[in-house]
Structure 1
Amino acid sequence: MKHTNAQCVFCAIVAGTSPASVVHRDAQCMAFMNLRPLHRGECMVIPLVHIDHFTDMPDDLAAHIMVVGRRLGRRMMRAFAPKRVGYVVHGFGVPHAHLNVVPLHDSSDIVSAKHIVSTDSGLRIAHDAVPLRTRADLDADAAVLRGDQ
Structure 2
Amino acid sequence: MTIFSKIIAGEIPAYVVAESNEFLAFLDINPLAEGHVLVIPKKEVDYIFDLDDETYTGMQIFAKIVATALKKAVPCIKVGVAVIGLEVPHAHIHLIPMNRVDDMNFARPKLSFTPEQLSATRDKIKTAFRE
Q: TM-score, normalised by structure 1?
A: 0.80
Distance 2:95 2:110 in 1: 16
Indicate if the aligned counterparts of 2:32 and 2:104 stay in contact, CA closer than 8 A.
Answer: no
What is the CA-CA distance between 1:70 and the residue it aligns to? 1.1
Residues 37 and 18 (structure 1 numbering): CA distance in 2 closer, same or farther, change over 3 Å?
same
Residue of structure 1 in register with 2:76 after alignment? 82
| Offset at residue 134 of structure 1 (A) | 2.0
What is residue 92 of structure 2 aligned with on the other side?
98
Q: Which amino acid aligns with 2:69?
A: R
Q: Pick which of 130-139 and 65-74 moved more.
A: 130-139
Q: 1:49 aligns with which of 43, 51, 60?
A: 43
Matches within 5 A, 1:1-149: 5=1, 8-111=2-105, 115=108, 129-147=109-127
Alignment partners' CA distance in 1, 2:113 and 2:126: 18
CA–CA distance in 2 between the matches of 1:46 and 1:133?
22
Q: Which has the higher contact order (CA 8 A, sep 6+)?
A: 2
Deviation of 1:131 after TM superposition, in Å, equals 3.2
Letter in 1 for 2:77: K
Higher helix share: 2
Tell me how far apart the structure 1 counterparts of residues 86 and 115 of structure 2 sit (CA, whole Å): 23
Question: Structure 1 residue 112: deviation in Å?
Answer: 5.2
Q: Which amino acid aligns with 1:142?
A: R
CA apart distance, 1:132: 2.7
Between the aligned partners of 1:39 and 1:133, the Cα distance in structure 2 is 10
Residues 25, 39 of structure 2: 8 Å contact kept = yes
> TM-score with structure 2 length normalisation?
0.90
Q: CA offset at residue 137 of structure 1?
A: 1.6
Larger Rg: 1
Counterpart residue type for residue 85 of structure 1: V
Structure 1 gaps of 5+ residues are: 116-128
Identical positions, percent: 27
What RMSD over aligned residues (CA atoms) do the two structures have, in Å?
Answer: 1.7
